[in-house]
Amino acid sequence: MKTINITKVLIFMSAMTLYQTGCTQKADHKMEYNKLTSFEEYVILNKGTERPYSGEFVNHKADGTYTCKRCDAPLYKSNDKFDSNCGWPSFDDEIDGAVKRVPDADGRRTEIVCANCGGHLGHVFEGEGFTPKSTRHCVNSVSLNFVPQDKTAKTETAKAIFAGGCFWGVEYFMEKQPGVKSVVSGYTGGKTKDPTYEEVCSGTSGHIEAVEIEYDPAKTTYEELAKLFFEIHDPTQVNRQGPDIGEQYRSEVFYLNEEQKAIAEKLIAQLESKGYKIATKVTEATTFYPAENYHQDYYERKGSLPYCHGYTKRF
């Protein structure tokens, strides 16, 4: 009898391993970015370099924000720009979390890329003493766009809250959507104030795992985000998402206004007309509580892909 039980356990563990591997392989969906010219692709995608003093932003002095040419993510503020006489735009600081540093292929320098889309920006150098921060982001003009101060001041953002299983996977895909400014993993839907992860997992708090998205309505819409939500998780599963089982993993849209509610219900009706048996609930939003720091940007920090979320086109 013991031999039979052990065999069943081994079979179950093998099946779960294959399931998770399959989920990981589905996570290669690529989001759409701005169309680039051949020279922009040479620099941004193939890590090329423009000629010194040839870029439009070398001697640029206006107030505003420099953004990524490929995905429009804000990268640098104009008050961090300085004249280094190197032939390329120079900045001694970046917008927090906007730029990622990686070892250059030459084994000596440090490359800088857009943290949102991975587009090549240039290189960063330290210890040169040009400014008190002693840091120089040497950036290709062709990797940048510029938004003047008067326009950035008028920029308004909107929010959306979705729950589709483990918040790590939903956060991973939502962060890659153009127009999304930030995604926070957290808890909502329950009655416990400031719940902990352990309380949510216990099922006593009433909360579920969700993400709060801040986005630019000029660059994406609530409907586009909602469609993506229904395509990066399985909205037909009840109180689970893949191997993650429990009420805290249920599928739910938390609307912030009547327009969001109408859009969510419209999309659910479209999916049901295609034969999907949708389990997603549509609920008025209540207080959203950010999760512990170790849950934020989980897959980005871990350097891996979601194991129970993947992209499936449904619209």
**Catalytically annotated residues:** 138, 166
Q: Which amino acid is at 173?
A: F
Q: Which of 247, 149, 160, 159 is nearest to 200 (CA)?
A: 247
Output the CA torsion sign for 76, 78, 82, 86: positive
- Closest of 181, 254, 173, 171 to residue 216, by C-alpha: 181
Q: Does residue 180 contact residue 220 with C-beta atoms inside 8 Å?
A: yes
CB of 251 closer than 8 Å to CB of 237: yes
Beta bridge partners of 213: 160, 183
Query: How far apart, in whole angstroms, are the C-alpha atoms of residue 173 and residue 218?
Result: 20
Of the candidates 309, 281, 33, which has an alpha carbon nearest to the alpha carbon of residue 173?
A: 309
